[in-house]
Amino acid sequence: MFEKRRPGAVLFDRDGTLIRDVPYNGDPGRVEPMPGALEALARLRRAEVPVAVVTNQSGVAKGLLSPDDMDQVNAKVEELLGPFDAWAICVHDDGDGCTCRKPAPGLVIRAAAVLDVSPRDCVVVGDIGRDMEAARAAGARGILVPTRQTLREEIQQAAEVADDLTDVVDRVLSDTGGPVPAVSAPWARAMGWSRW
């Protein structure tokens, strides 16, 4: 079981967690925040908890959207929800055999490295089983926020399930313990999106 303490960072899945899931979206005009996302992120930022995005974007590998389309959507996410301390993006497809595509732990490990924290000190927030499996594989705490697309088995198998993003932040910020580690990687923002 995870020790109750403030996390080094909170890593969010993008589609279905921070923004409404529009499959293979390359249109920034279709970006719509999930209920409570802006407020949840604002609370974490005020508490000086680093926030990052860890997202599978196989539409790039499939040729359904270009890297530029994806970058424009990500820029719109930041315009609507504020800046993130790191982005870790897998542009591969299931058959590519990469180590980054969730449920593999690579994105969680990469985001933690950019933020200069241990994956074990991270909380991964997502809406499907792949997000929770990636958290488990990286040694991070996973919190599932189910949507209509979340399978019943995924909910049953999740170690922790929250009602919504407000509930996630309530849980994370109520955890006791030492101070939140400072982000010692100011170059992370200048690097742009971290693609594998």
| DSSP character at residue 180 | P
Helix (H, G, I), strand (E, B) or coil at 10: strand
Which tokens is 149 given?
A: 């697309």
Question: Residue 21 catalytic?
Answer: no
Closest CA to 14 of 67, 65, 90, 68: 90
Q: 149, 16 in Cβ contact below 8 A?
A: yes
CA 85 to chain centroid, in Å, comes to 11
* Residue 90: strand pairing partners: 56
Find the catalytic residue in 15, 69, 85, 121. Answer: 15
**Angle subtended at Cα 61 by Cα 57 and Cα 66, rounded to the nearest 5 degrees:** 75
Question: Residue 116 catalytic?
Answer: no
Find the catalytic residue in 13, 69, 85, 121. Answer: 13
Which residues are designated catalytic? 13, 15
